[in-house]
Amino acid sequence: MDVLKSLNEYNINLLVVGLPLDEDKNNMQKRIKHFISLLDFKGEIRWQNEDFSSFEAKELSKGIFKHKKDGRIDSLSAYIILDRFLLSLKVKG
């Protein structure tokens, strides 16, 4: 499914995007920012530190499911990134 189409279909006006802050991952930062720029998203974009989210997801899921390339680790990582974002709002508020 087209990402921008989904954003528009669900009337999304805030997009939280995980971004590695580790300077060694500068190339990944550029790739992520380029992809987001291609979306032509008109809402607000908030960047959230995603460092170690995949590692944390693997640790949290040990013994729950096998770690294979089926998207579950990515989904759990996305949850962790969003949770970090929501916690940062709570701390600021």
C-beta of residue 49 within 8 angstroms of C-beta of residue 84? yes
Q: Are residues 39 and 59 in the same domain?
A: no
Q: Are residues 44 and 72 in the same domain?
A: no
Q: Are residues 42 and 77 in the same domain?
A: no
Domain count, the chain: 2
- The whole-angstrom separation of Cα 64 and Cα 55 is 15
pLDDT greater at residue 24 or residue 30 = 30
Q: Are residues 32 and 62 in the same domain?
A: no
pLDDT digits (tens, 9 = 90+) for 59-69: 888 877 665 66
The pLDDT score that the predictor gives to residue 63 is 72
Q: Are residues 47 and 62 in the same domain?
A: no
In this structure, which long-range contacts are made by residues 53-62, counting pairs with CB atoms below 8 Å and at least 24 apart in sequence?
53/18, 53/77, 53/80, 53/81, 53/84, 56/80
Please report which helix (H) or strand (E) contains residue 49, including its range.
Answer: strand 44-49
In which domain, by residue range, is 13 found? Answer: 1-51
pLDDT digits (tens, 9 = 90+) for 29-55: 999 999 999 998 999 999 999 999 988
